[in-house]
Structure 1
């Protein structure tokens, strides 16, 4: 299958002091991608307004979503979305659900579940709400035909959960595979198999990795995955399920030199998705 690299240097979903560096991270990755198969989604310069949505910078996020969906509609096969903040997965997973319907599972590799609702979000940042939106809640939720069924969702490597997210996880009985259980990919593969899906979308926030692996993270958390564990899990999933799409998000290097140090690891993740 031919991959299209969809670069979305969105930073407005984050309220980190390093938010603008997410755009720099996307650009750094773009520099190592093949030009002929790379599409860049234009991101507004301005921060944007909440517009009574409960989501900071909502107006800019809405514009990026529209532009990204337009680009995805012209992708001939599947897209590897390069962010930017985790909000870039909204349109890409929404699009993949519409194409695959009930046959799609989503594996959310992330240190955070990103399942906050606007009313109980500690920050108002959409990057912490995107998965809740994909499950059908909030001002940026897709229509019913493009909403993700929580039964088709597997959380992988999560280790920092807010109270509202804990309640949602318990209410929906979401499947979680923690970092310790990812020493081998067997439990993860079995969890996706249990959804009954034949295809899978992989969202990868780079903070699922241990900070010893990659330094360009806005919110590094200890006890994450090794690079070998992440790439091994990707390889095992691709061996059993059709890859419907993927996201790599959360790269916010402090400087171009720091980006150069991290890029070999990121390119190994990209290679495991596209080889």
Structure 2
């Protein structure tokens, strides 16, 4: 679910145009497509408004916070810190670093202190816990520094986007004054980023990291040309940030169900596993942000004597590619949902205690054969390099759990026909959630064919929701 939280706070700014930020928040919120809209009324103090924002933030789904001044980011980023800890990094797109303190701020506006306050140095009634470590901050487009800010940034070792840790989860902050030539802001600065440069930077981050939240602030409507620019820009930023989650799940899924032969080339992840009929390990997946070459795709699979198969994922992002493949005669097949859940959402059930955790891979083939009647999955499962376990409920059901970077993928869920509708799969899912927690992974994903209504109902009943959809296109 996509939620936009509108916070029309302007009192944190000392700009003469600050009151316009309330209208700017409303306009920015209207630019976020297909979102649930929550408007937070401002309080008599910044602290009171912050309390209201904290109460309004949803517990799940993707949240876009719009201001208002930059101070509205206090609670959304703190909430992300509480949820993700030191894995969280903040990419701060802004003309200003916003790292003053009450004693160093030239104008006294809280919006110029927000990023320092998140680090634990700010107005006493606005400092929150936990605090944001300086090495988890990346500045982008910043070009106007006060002396105290420059000193702090140098002393703390705060860098740019290239310094973000590979395993980081990201919160992206965009103050619209990061843009070049925009005048509908309180403190415009020359030599900013173009809209194309900003989109390119966010797209590159989304290709490498999961973006868990987005904030957009400081729009003080004045020039219709700025409004036109933002109406094009904001939806694209939201789209890219939301796609980062599906992209990162698909990256993990490719590792969690590895093809025997795989390579990245010409905009594709090309996969081939001779002797195994499953599409996932015998198909090409378009790489995030790339322009995949159809000629390279068809050449790769023709060399191997098999038809080209494309996993169109996430399907919502690849409409043009899907249409092109359709025109070339590729048939559509196997519409699939990718579903996710947090481990604490998956309830314990009585039968989960009887699920055996089998690390000995020598036993896997026999169990696959007994439960599903097919041990062909072993060619893939045997090449797993990530931490994995087969979870088996007697000889009645099983599932394969594979953990990477805080996520566990669930594969090969199967129940012996004579034991269906007896809670076997529910027991395996509960055991998988507990195993995952013990191995430091608190989020789960799985794939289910869209027309498999019984399986979908089961997964939904234990807390799974749909992240995205994909399907395949097979060369005719």
Please give the range of the TM-score, normalised by the shorter of the 2 chains: 0.7 to 0.9
Residue 240 of structure 1 and its aligned partner are, at CA, apart by 1.2
In the alignment, the residues of structure 1 paired with residue 186 and residue 35 of structure 2 have an alpha-carbon distance, to the nearest angstrom, of: 30
- Residue 180 of structure 1 is matched in structure 2 by none
- Candidates 225, 229, 233, aligned match of 2:201: 233
Q: In the superposition, relative to structure 1, how do residues 197 and 142 fare at CA in structure 2: closer, same or farther (>3 Å)?
A: farther
In the alignment, the residues of structure 1 paired with residue 39 and residue 86 of structure 2 have an alpha-carbon distance, to the nearest angstrom, of: 29
- Residue 133 of structure 1 is matched in structure 2 by 117
In the alignment, the residues of structure 2 paired with residue 201 and residue 36 of structure 1 have an alpha-carbon distance, to the nearest angstrom, of: 18
- Candidates 47, 50, 70, aligned match of 1:62: 47
Superposition CA RMSD, Å: 1.9
- Residue 118 of structure 1 is matched in structure 2 by 102
Residue 258 of structure 1 and its aligned partner are, at CA, apart by 6.0
1:105 maps onto 2:89 in alignment:
yes
Query: Does the Cα contact within 8 Å between 1:25 and 1:259 map onto a contact in 2?
Result: no
SS in 2 for 1:160: coil
- Residue 175 of structure 2 is matched in structure 1 by 205
In the alignment, the residues of structure 2 paired with residue 112 and residue 147 of structure 1 have an alpha-carbon distance, to the nearest angstrom, of: 20
In the alignment, the residues of structure 2 paired with residue 197 and residue 141 of structure 1 have an alpha-carbon distance, to the nearest angstrom, of: 27
Post-superposition Cα deviations, 1:84-132, rounded to whole Å, max 9, x if no partner, equal 1000111110110110001111111110000001011101100000000
Residue 267 of structure 1 and its aligned partner are, at CA, apart by 3.3
Residue 76 of structure 1 and its aligned partner are, at CA, apart by 1.6
Higher RCO (CA 8 Å, separation ≥ 6 residues) = 1
In the alignment, the residues of structure 2 paired with residue 98 and residue 8 of structure 1 have an alpha-carbon distance, to the nearest angstrom, of: 21
Long gaps (5+) in structure 1: 49-59, 178-187
Q: In the superposition, relative to structure 1, how do residues 154 and 261 fare at CA in structure 2: closer, same or farther (>3 Å)?
A: closer
Greater Rg by CA: 2
In the alignment, the residues of structure 2 paired with residue 11 and residue 204 of structure 1 have an alpha-carbon distance, to the nearest angstrom, of: 16
In the alignment, the residues of structure 1 paired with residue 107 and residue 167 of structure 2 have an alpha-carbon distance, to the nearest angstrom, of: 34
In the alignment, the residues of structure 2 paired with residue 3 and residue 108 of structure 1 have an alpha-carbon distance, to the nearest angstrom, of: 21
Long gaps (5+) in structure 2: 244-476
In the alignment, the residues of structure 2 paired with residue 164 and residue 258 of structure 1 have an alpha-carbon distance, to the nearest angstrom, of: 31
SS in 2 for 1:87: helix
1:191 maps onto 2:176 in alignment:
no
Q: In the superposition, relative to structure 1, how do residues 166 and 32 fare at CA in structure 2: closer, same or farther (>3 Å)?
A: closer
Residue 219 of structure 1 and its aligned partner are, at CA, apart by 1.2
- Residue 6 of structure 2 is matched in structure 1 by 7
Query: Does the Cα contact within 8 Å between 2:33 and 2:235 map onto a contact in 1?
Result: no
Q: In the superposition, relative to structure 1, how do residues 16 and 76 fare at CA in structure 2: closer, same or farther (>3 Å)?
A: same
In the alignment, the residues of structure 1 paired with residue 28 and residue 83 of structure 2 have an alpha-carbon distance, to the nearest angstrom, of: 27
- Residue 266 of structure 2 is matched in structure 1 by none
SS in 2 for 1:19: coil
Post-superposition Cα deviations, 1:139-170, rounded to whole Å, max 9, x if no partner, equal 21112xx2101111111111000011111112
Structure ranking higher in strand proportion: 2
- Candidates 183, 186, 200, aligned match of 1:215: 183
Residue 265 of structure 1 and its aligned partner are, at CA, apart by 3.2
Q: In the superposition, relative to structure 1, how do residues 259 and 149 fare at CA in structure 2: closer, same or farther (>3 Å)?
A: same
1:244 maps onto 2:243 in alignment:
no
- Residue 28 of structure 2 is matched in structure 1 by 29
Compute the TM-score of the two structures, normalised by the length of structure 2: 0.48
Q: Which range moved further: 23-32 or 11-20?
A: 23-32
In the alignment, the residues of structure 1 paired with residue 35 and residue 59 of structure 2 have an alpha-carbon distance, to the nearest angstrom, of: 13
Structure ranking higher in helix proportion: 1
Q: Number of aligned pairs?
A: 241
Residue 40 of structure 1 and its aligned partner are, at CA, apart by 1.0
SS in 2 for 1:203: strand
Query: Does the Cα contact within 8 Å between 1:94 and 1:147 map onto a contact in 2?
Result: yes
Residue 133 of structure 1 and its aligned partner are, at CA, apart by 0.3
